[in-house]
């Protein structure tokens, strides 16, 4: 049993070091809006670039200091804006996907501690089945500016 645990630990550790040594996704502009009083949910955004020559499948697992985290997409349906949960995102080789207001986004629920502007929240993703943590900076929601165009 001890051997099994040891082997599992080595395998997990080697997976992490493999992911670090061979990154699949490059994340930029990762940010989470500081939760607002009156609401138990907030949003997060990031730009994801697949820097490999194969498709990348991305799932979200957990975020430090929040009870739950999910990926969602805002869509227009019957003249109304609706949200639907997205289990995973696939980014083609070399392509970039921007999670931005009005489109794909991250939803975080029920902060377990006070989240302040300037904090950094670690968010766990599964990228092609391998766990990776990324830092998201907490920014002020009420001071949200017009999203810069990347086109």
Minimum distance of another protein from residue 144's CB (angstroms): 4
Side-chain half-sphere CA neighbours of 26 within 13 A: 8
Supply φ then ψ for residue 72, to 5 degrees: -135, 165
Side-chain half-sphere CA neighbours of 136 within 13 A: 33
Minimum distance of another protein from residue 71's CB (angstroms): 10
Contact 115, 139 (CB under 8 A): no
Q: Which is nearer to another protein, 41 or 57 (CB)?
A: 41
- Listed in sequence order, the residues at least 6 apart from 113 whose beta carbon sits closer than 8 Å to its beta carbon are 65
Residue 53 tokens read as 């020559």
Q: Which is nearer to another protein, 3 or 84 (CB)?
A: 84
Q: Which is nearer to another protein, 42 or 50 (CB)?
A: 42
Q: Which is nearer to another protein, 11 or 38 (CB)?
A: 38
Minimum distance of another protein from residue 111's CB (angstroms): 13
Minimum distance of another protein from residue 135's CB (angstroms): 20
Footprint on this chain of another protein (rule: CB under 8 A):
33, 36-43, 67-68, 70, 72, 74, 76-85, 101-102, 105, 107-110, 141-147
The angle subtended at Cα 99 by Cα 20 and Cα 34, nearest 5°, is: 90
Contact 35, 93 (CB under 8 A): no
């Amino acid at each position: 049993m001890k051997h099994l645990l040891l082997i599992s630990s080595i395998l997990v550790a080697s997976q992490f070091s493999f992911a670090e040594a061979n990154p699949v996704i490059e994340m930029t502009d990762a940010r989470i809006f500081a939760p607002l009083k009156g609401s138990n949910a907030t949003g997060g955004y990031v730009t994801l670039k697949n820097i490999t020559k194969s498709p990348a499948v991305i799932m979200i697992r957990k975020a430090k200091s929040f009870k739950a985290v999910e990926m969602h997409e805002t869509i227009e349906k019957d003249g109304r804006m609706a949200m639907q949960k997205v289990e995973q995102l696939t980014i083609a080789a070399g392509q970039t996907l921007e999670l931005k207001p009005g489109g794909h986004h991250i939803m975080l629920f029920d902060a377990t501690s006070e989240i302040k502007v300037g904090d950094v929240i670690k968010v766990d993703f599964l990228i092609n089945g391998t766990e990776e943590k990324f830092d998201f900076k907490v920014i002020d929601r009420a001071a949200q500016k017009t999203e810069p165009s990347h086109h």
